[in-house]
Amino acid sequence: MNASAATAFQPAYQPAFQPGCADAAWNWSELVSHRGALVRFAQRRLHDPMLAEDVVHDVFEAVLAGRAAFAGRSSLRSWLTAILKHKIVDLVRQRAGYDSLDDGADDDDGAAGIECPQPRPDEVAEQRQLLARALARIDALPAGLRDVMHLRVLQDQPTNTVCQALAISEDNLFVRLHRARKQLAS
């Protein structure tokens, strides 16, 4: 790029503060040089390139409007990144109560892709099969371990009641529970 092309590529709007200005410790080109890093930071947080551009624009708008004053206690990029973090938090809070219905717009029937909180019938059937297999594995345990699992885990009886019913100590109950769970996990 030659010198005339470089001078022709100037932003359409340059703020009133320039390097010679006493109240600004930076100039417009310094600010804009951090734009790429700010956009990448915002994209990693928001996962939306257009939204990231908007938030970075809001950062520069806040700086230009004078709502943010750089005190010089950190680097310019750190200061701009801190403003960006706050803008992202504000955006997330603002959008927290809203779910986008645009994500499911590709459906053939035009219905919005709103997920039902109840499990689907195939999920219920899968859960029932999994429960039946778990109960069968518990029933296949040796008698001492099986009784402990039935009383303490399945029937949710208190520890002292299970110990009295099986005539075992509390320590023995916990050992049996551990062994039963270990056998079920393998």
User: Same structural domain for residues 82 and 147?
Assistant: no
Q: Which of 149, 148, 123 minimizes the C-alpha distance to 135? A: 149
> CA 137: distance to chain centroid?
37
User: Same structural domain for residues 89 and 144?
Assistant: no
Q: Which of 74, 95, 116 corresponds to the end of one domain?
A: 95
CATH of the domain at 25: 1.10.1740
Q: Which of 8-12, 61-65, 70-74 has the lowest mean pLDDT?
A: 8-12
How far is it, in rounded angstroms, from Cα 83 to Cα 86? 5
Which residues neighbour 65 within 8 Å (Cβ) at sequence distance 6 or greater?
Answer: none
User: Same structural domain for residues 67 and 142?
Assistant: no
Is 80 exceeded by the pLDDT of residue 166?
yes
Q: Helix-strand-coil percent breakdown of the chain, rounded to 5?
A: 65, 0, 35
Mean pLDDT, range 60-71, rounded to an integer: 78
In-domain check, residue 2: no
CATH of the domain at 179: 1.10.10.10
User: Same structural domain for residues 81 and 29?
Assistant: yes
How far is it, in rounded angstroms, from Cα 80 to Cα 64? 12
Query: Which residue type, as a one-letter code, is found at position 82?
Result: A
Structural domain that includes position 140? 135-185
Contact 138, 177 (CB under 8 A): no
How far is it, in rounded angstroms, from Cα 59 to Cα 43? 14
pLDDT digits (tens, 9 = 90+) for 93-141: 888 776 665 555 555 555 555 677 888 889 999 999 999 999 999 999 9
In-domain check, residue 36: yes
pLDDT digits (tens, 9 = 90+) for 168-181: 999 999 999 999 99
Please state the pTM of the whole predicted model.
Answer: 0.42
When the pLDDT of each residue in the chain is averaged and rounded to a whole number, the result is 80
Is 60 exceeded by the pLDDT of residue 5?
no
In-domain check, residue 115: no
Which residues neighbour 17 within 8 Å (Cβ) at sequence distance 6 or greater?
Answer: 23, 24, 27, 28
